[in-house]
């Protein structure tokens, strides 16, 4: 089977984009594991399927490196907007994308016929523990001391359509993320695992972030994670509601604005390359 793909990235969070407008793929979970491999595959943080939708301009489905499906992906949805516009599948600057966490509104910023950046209305931040889900008592988990892997951490939990745990720290450069990340991801209080953001507050409008993503490990950026971090920073009194908050990630910057109603995320989307692959017996050959 021959498969056309486009490799795209948002702040270095890179996915393999597959046009599934005509036909959905069988077993995307397995395909994500195979294609994401950086040595034996194309290489990426997962795959993204761009599918037909009856209720929006397109439907996005994303899969992590381990094959698990994410309900929402902030960096991927900007790339989906760019893909749809530049491949002339849509011819408008505002579009709707259906995701497993609801329909999202995108505004494309276009220069010389190419989409440079995208603003996404990410919807409401959800704090209810059962909706995140996190197995802790109370209406909201904000700056709650919790034991993770035998150590106490102050955590803030929020869902941006997918589960996030935000931890503020003075130093995020020297932490051992490959040890800390899995401890949070598999902590028994997170029954669906969790994405964890480690945040250093630089000032009222700037945060620095490293992220350990559920299903993918450390990535250079996470859009929903940056939104969760900005929301948590406001709820912990480090930043203000309604103001732009710059989140500096390993692979770039995102601007987040958290109002009473919604969270807006603005950032770049870029195409890296296109290609065709032959899928053979569970393995792949790069054809072009
Ligand atoms: N990189 C993403 C989030 C991808 C999904 C996540 N790992 C999950 O399983 O919830 C982003 O940019 O938001």
Q: Which atom of ligand 1 has the smallest separation from the CA of 193?
A: 9
Question: At residue 67, does pLDDT exceed 90?
Answer: yes
Average pLDDT for residues 10-18, to the nearest whole number?
A: 98
Nearest protein Cα to ligand 1, atom 8: 70
> Would you name the residues annotated as active-site residues?
73, 222
Nearest to 14 by CA among 41, 163, 25: 41
Ligand 1 in reach of 223 Cβ (< 6 A): yes
pLDDT digits over 41-52, tens only?
Answer: 999 999 999 999
- Name the pLDDT band for 165 (thresholds 50, 70, 90): very high
Note the pLDDT of residue 286.
59
Question: Cα(37)–Cα(43) distance, rounded to whole angstroms?
Answer: 5
Topology classification of domain 2-122+269-286: Diaminopimelate Epimerase; Chain A, domain 1 (3.10.310)
ipTM of the prediction: 0.99
| Average pLDDT score over residue span 70-93 | 98
CA distance 82 to 109: 9
Residue 285 confidence (pLDDT): 65
Q: Compare 24 and 108 and report the one with higher pLDDT.
A: 108
Would you say 75 is a known binding-site residue?
Answer: yes
Distance from residue 112's CA to the centre of ligand 1 (Å): 30
Q: What is the pLDDT of residue 73?
A: 98
Cα 72 to ligand 1 centre (Å): 6
Q: Is residue 287 pLDDT above 70, yes or no?
A: no
Q: Which ranges in the chain belong to alpha helices (H)?
A: 28-36, 74-86, 177-185, 223-235
Strand ranges inside the chain, DSSP E: 2-10, 13-20, 46-51, 58-64, 69-70, 94-99, 102-111, 114-121, 144-148, 151-159, 163-168, 195-203, 206-213, 217-219, 244-249, 252-258, 263-268, 270-280, 283-286
Q: From the CB of 159, is ligand 1 less than 6 Å away?
A: no
**pLDDT at residue 282 tops 60:** no
The mean per-residue pLDDT over the stretch 216-230 comes to: 98
Q: How far is CA 57 from the centre of its chain?
A: 20
Q: Is 129-261 in the same CATH topology as 2-122+269-286?
A: yes
Q: What percent of the chain has pLDDT over 70?
A: 97
The pLDDT of residue 281: 67
Reported as a single tens digit per residue, the pLDDT across 230-275 is: 999 999 999 999 999 999 999 999 999 999 889 999 999 999 999 9
Query: Is the CB of 74 inside a 6 Å radius of any atom of ligand 1?
Result: yes
Q: Is 9 in the pocket of ligand 1 (CB under 6 A)?
A: no
Give the rounded percent of residues in the chain with a pLDDT score beyond 90.
Answer: 93
> Ligand 1 mean position to 27 CA, how many Å?
19
> Average pLDDT, whole number, for the chain?
96
Residue 23 among known ligand-binding residues: no
Atom of ligand 1 nearest to the CA of 71: 10
Which CATH number is associated with domain 129-261? 3.10.310.10
Q: How far is the CA of 238 from the centre of ligand 1 (A)?
A: 24
pLDDT at 261: 85
Q: Is the CB of 161 under 6 A from ligand 1?
A: no
Closest residue by CA, ligand 1 atom 4: 73
Q: Compute the average pLDDT of residues 120-143.
A: 98
Each domain of the chain, given as residue ranges in start order, spans 2-122+269-286, 129-261
**Pairing mode, if any, of strands 94-99 and 58-64?**
parallel
For residue 67 and ligand 1, the question of a CB distance below 6 A is answered with: no
């Amino acid at each position: 089977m021959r498969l056309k793909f486009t490799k795209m990235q948002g702040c270095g969070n890179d996915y393999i984009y597959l046009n599934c407008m005509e036909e959905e793929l069988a077993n995307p979970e397995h395909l994500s594991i195979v294609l994401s491999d950086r040595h034996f595959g194309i290489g990426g943080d997962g795959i993204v399927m761009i599918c037909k939708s009856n209720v929006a301009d397109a439907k996005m489905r994303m899969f992590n490196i381990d094959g698990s499906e994410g309900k929402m992906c902030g960096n991927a949805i900007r790339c989906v907007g760019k893909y749809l516009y530049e491949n002339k599948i849509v011819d408008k600057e505002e579009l709707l994308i259906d995701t497993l966490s609801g329909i999202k509104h995108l505004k494309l910023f276009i220069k010389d016929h190419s989409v440079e950046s995208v603003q996404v209305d990410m919807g409401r931040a959800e704090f209810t523990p059962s909706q995140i889900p996190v197995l802790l008592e109370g209406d909201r988990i904000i700056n709650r001391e919790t034991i993770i892997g035998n150590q106490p951490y102050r955590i803030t939990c929020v869902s941006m359509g997918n589960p996030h745990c935000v931890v503020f720290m003075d130093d995020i450069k020297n932490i051992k993320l490959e040890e800390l990340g899995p401890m949070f991801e598999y902590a028994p209080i997170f029954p669906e695992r969790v994405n964890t953001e480690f945040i250093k507050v630089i000032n009222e409008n700037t945060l620095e972030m490293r992220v350990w993503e559920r299903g993918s490990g450390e990535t250079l950026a996470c859009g929903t994670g940056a939104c969760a971090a900005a929301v948590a920073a406001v709820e912990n009194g480090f930043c203000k509601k309604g103001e732009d908050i710059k989140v500096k990630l390993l692979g770039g910057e995102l601007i987040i604005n958290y109002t009473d109603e919604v969270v807006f995320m603005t950032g770049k989307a870029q195409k890296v390359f296109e290609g065709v692959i032959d899928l053979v017996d569970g393995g792949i050959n790069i054809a072009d």
